[in-house]
């Protein structure tokens, strides 16, 4: 599964980085960046938490393309 951060919404609240530092990094521009292409299975729960905890609901699972 892929995860995305909507930069129109993101305001550098750091919740995603705290939940899954291997996957998210908040940089000097106060925006969070996704560090991996595919989220490894063992990090899924952490990313799930990032999705749930982002105050701006900017972190989302990417819908599978059919």
Partner 1 sequence: MTQLSLSPNDIDLTDPEIFETNQAHEVFRMLRREAPVHWNAENEVMRGFWNVTKYADVIAISRNPELYISSHGITQMEPVIKNPMDEVMQGFGKMLITTDPPRHVRLRRLVNKGFTPRAVGAMEIHIRDIVTRILDDIEKKPGVDFVTEVAALLPLAVICEMMGCPRSDWNLMFDLTNKVLGGGDPEYQTDVPEAERGTVEAARQTITSGSMQMFQYWANFIQAHRKDWKDDLVGLLIEAELDGDKLNDEDILWFAFLLIVAGNETTRNAISGGMLALHENPAEKQKVLDNPALLSSTAVEEILRWTSPVAHMARVATRDTELRGQQIKEGQRVVMWYGSVNRDEDVFADPYRFDVTRAPNDHLAFGIGEHFCLGAGFARLELKVIFEELFRRFPDIHVDGDVQRLRSTFIGGIKHLPVTYTSA
Q: Which of 1, 4, 21, 30 binds partner 1 (CB under 8 A)?
A: 30
Smallest gap from Cβ 18 to partner 1, in A, equals 11
Indicate whether 36 belongs to the interface with partner 1 (CB under 8 A). no
DSSP track, 1-66: --EEE-TTT-----HHHHH-TTTEEE-TTS-EEE--SS--GGGHHHHHHHHHH-TT--EEEPPPP-
Indicate whether 21 belongs to the interface with partner 1 (CB under 8 A). no
Interaction site with partner 1 (CB under 8 A): 8-9, 11-14, 30, 52-53, 55-57
């Amino acid at each position: 599964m892929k995860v995305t951060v909507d930069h129109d919404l993101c305001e550098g609240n750091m919740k995603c980085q705290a939940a899954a530092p291997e996957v998210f990094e908040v940089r000097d521009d106060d925006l969070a960046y996704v560090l991996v292409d595919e989220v490894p299975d063992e990090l899924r729960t952490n990313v799930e938490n990032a999705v749930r905890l982002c105050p701006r609901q900017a972190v989302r699972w990417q819908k599978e393309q059919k």
